[in-house]
Each structure stands twice: as C-alpha cells, then as structure tokens.
Structure 1
Amino acid sequence: MTSVHVVVATVGKAHGLRGEVALILRTDQPAERLAAGTAFSVDADGAPDTLTVASTRTQQGRWYARFAEVTGRTEAEALRGVDLELELDREEEAQEDPDAWYPSELTGLTVRHVDGRDLGVVVDLEHYPAQDMLIVRAPGRGRVMLPFVAELVPEVDVEAGIVLADPPGGLFEDLPEDDDETSEGAGPSEDTQSPEDTQCPESTESPESTGV
C-alpha cells in the first residue's frame, strides 16, 4: 500500500467546559474525514498519541469536535495547535478522485513560471471557500498565495519536482522585500496575501481537487 499522511484539521480554541474544541479545517470533506469513531494520529508534547472523534457539530459555518480521550477544558486547551492527521491509501484515494493532490505531495516542489523562471517553493496547500491556494515561498519576497486552478497552475509534475505556473502579472513581482529566509516553519508572514487579494477568473475550474 502506498500511503499518504494528510492533516485533516488543526485544533483551535477550547469551547465550553466538557472538552469540546473548535477546528481549523484543512480538508474539503469534513463530514467524511471527521466522522464519529475516526482515530487521528497525534504527534505533540502533552497530547494523547491518538484522538478519537466522539462527536462533531457546526455553528455559523465553524466546526467543533469532542474526542473520547478529552473530557475537560484543561485537556482541551492543551490541544490547541495540534494537527489531526490520517494515513490514507493513496491508490484507493486516487480511484475515487484521480485528480486529487495532498499537501505532503506538493510541499517542497519548485514553482516554475511558464517562461522558465523559478518563482519559489511550495510550502503548503490551504483550503478556502472559493478555491484551494498553494502557499509559495518566493526568495526575498515573502509568501505568495497562488490559486490552485487550471488556468494558473496548468501542470504538476511530482517526479520532476515542478509545479508549472502562469500567474497574473504582479502576483510575484509586487511583494515587499523580505530578508528573513529562515522562517518557513513559523507560519504565514505579514507579507502573505489574503485570498481576496488574489484575483482569479470566476469561470476557472480547479485542475486538481485536493480531496483531503
């Protein structure tokens, strides 16, 4: 079996006194991935090795979960920032969605302009209501959010380590200089653009549904 490790959600703030937590979704299939009984692997100090979904609910578009291993607010607060990870069968997932891509497969690939210029390196894939975004670290320029749609990302070649991109003019050129090249693990910088800042034609369809 060829497996792929996928982060389905990140634990947010504790909610209430009985161990419920808010979730920051990293998937476009929350109902399936967060079904009751699903066991997530956890690699974090002070957290259980496994978190098993006891129940979930939604409120005003946000997801909340309770886990069998967490019964109180103190335990829930200790989970903040923990990633909920699943190990999936890549071949089985590909049969269901042959165009699916996962963050772990894209992270580290070089983003190359269709004119041959290297623009940066993929550091993450994030989900937003309108479309998925590739988070690209552009040397000396900070982080850029590139819509993961066919018109702007016509090809992904994992074996060659290349994401071919045809970004709109100014997306990579107009960012302020950023001398800190060592902060990739510290989360998005102030230079990161929001999805609203990046214009993409409404008629454009995604080349790959990440299916996480």
Structure 2
Amino acid sequence: MNWYNVGKIVNTHGILGEVRVISSTDFPDERYAIGSKLGLFMPGSDKPINLTVASHRKHKSFDLLTFENHPYVQDVEVYRDGVLKVSEDKLEKLEDGVFYYHEIIGCLVVTLDGTEVGTVTEIMETGANDVWTVKPEKGKLQYIPYIDDVVKEIDVDNKKIIIDPIEGLLS
C-alpha cells in the first residue's frame, strides 16, 4: 500500500496529549477530521503506527491534533519527528485538471514536437503558479511553470506531460 505525507509532528503542545503538526496537505479539514485514520511513520521505520484523530484545531501556523487512546503528553512525546501519512485508499477524488504531486512527479516532459525535456523531480509552490523542476538525462535542470500557455496535456496514467515552451524557457 502506498502512503502520502500529510504532515510532520514537530513537538507536543500542553500536557493533554496534543501534538504540533506542520501540515503538508491541501485538505487539512478532511485529513484531520475527528475519526480520520492516519499512519505515523517514525524516522528509520517503514511500518506505520495507526492513529485515529480525536481532535483538531489550528494554532498559529500549526495544526494541533490529539489521538484516540493518547490522553497525556507522555503518550505522544515519542511521536516527535514522525511523519503523518494517509493511505492511498483515503485520497480524495480531485476535479478534472487538478493533480496530486505524486501523480506529476516522475512524469516525462516532452515538447509538442516530441523532444524529451526530462522527468519532473520536484514541485515548487510560488504563490502565482507551481513550477516543476525537470531533470534531463544530461545537462542542467529545467524549470517549467504550470500555466496553460506552457502545459498543454497531462497524462498521469502514462506518466507523460506535453508542453509548448515559450521562447527562452528551455536552455
């Protein structure tokens, strides 16, 4: 089963079993809803600790969570630096034209004329639009803005993206 990051526990909060989470999900209300099932992966482990969300609230830039059967700080302090993940079967269905990062990363990017640019290795959020880091077989990294003028087709099933590079985009 595949698991996808939703946040990282960076500390405890108070004495009643709350943890501070730096969230990495676009769906915190769904991921951290009471009763939601999450897998906690500790550094160096590939086996999840299954947790059920008991409460969720926002505090400053953090999501504060408690988990069922973990009422005290002593119960959760060992979870510090653990990564919270959601299993693949819990991913939300997205509307057309919207993709999860894991669907884009690993895609081969080609131009309209079939020239291979490289493979998407990272997605950077810039505020205006995402920018994809594309690693060619040889040469330097390319940065492709995810805008309609450039990205013409995304086929996540075949892991292929077709672009029409604007002048000066590819070097």
TM superposition score normalised by structure 1: 0.59
Aligned counterparts of 2:77 and 2:19: Cα–Cα separation in 1? 11
For the structure 1 residues 24 and 135, does the alpha-carbon distance in structure 2 shift closer, same or farther, using more than 3 Å as the test?
farther
Q: Which moved more, 1:29-38 or 1:7-16?
A: 7-16
Aligned counterparts of 2:126 and 2:31: Cα–Cα separation in 1? 17
Contact 1:5 1:104 in 2 (8 A): no
| Residue aligning to 1:13 | 10
For the structure 1 residues 159 and 46, does the alpha-carbon distance in structure 2 shift closer, same or farther, using more than 3 Å as the test?
closer
State the shift of 1:53 in Å: 2.2
Structure 1: which 5+ runs fail to align?
A: 174-212
Aligned counterparts of 1:89 and 1:98: Cα–Cα separation in 2? 18
Is 1:77 aligned to 2:103, yes or no? no
- Post-superposition CA distance 1:15-67 (Å, at most 9, x none): 4344412223232x32223212211234442975223223223344x231324
Q: Which moved more, 1:13-22 or 1:109-118?
A: 13-22
For the structure 1 residues 74 and 109, does the alpha-carbon distance in structure 2 shift closer, same or farther, using more than 3 Å as the test?
same
| Residue aligning to 2:129 | 131
State the shift of 1:108 in Å: 1.8
Structure 2: which 5+ runs fail to align?
A: none
| Residue aligning to 1:109 | 107
Aligned AA (1:101): F
Aligned counterparts of 1:59 and 1:154: Cα–Cα separation in 2? 40
State the shift of 1:8 in Å: 5.0
Number of aligned positions between the proteins: 162
For the structure 1 residues 159 and 32, does the alpha-carbon distance in structure 2 shift closer, same or farther, using more than 3 Å as the test?
closer
Aligned counterparts of 1:32 and 1:128: Cα–Cα separation in 2? 24
Paired residues for 1:1-212 under 5 Å: 7-17=4-14, 18-27=17-26, 29-44=27-42, 45=45, 48-60=48-60, 62-68=61-67, 71-72=72-73, 74-79=77-82, 82-88=83-89, 93=93, 97-125=95-123, 129-139=127-137, 140-142=139-141, 144-173=142-171
Aligned counterparts of 1:48 and 1:19: Cα–Cα separation in 2? 19
- Higher RCO by CA contacts (8 Å cutoff, separation 6 or greater): 1
Structure that is richer in strand per residue: 2
What's the C-alpha RMSD, in Å, of the aligned pairs? 3.4
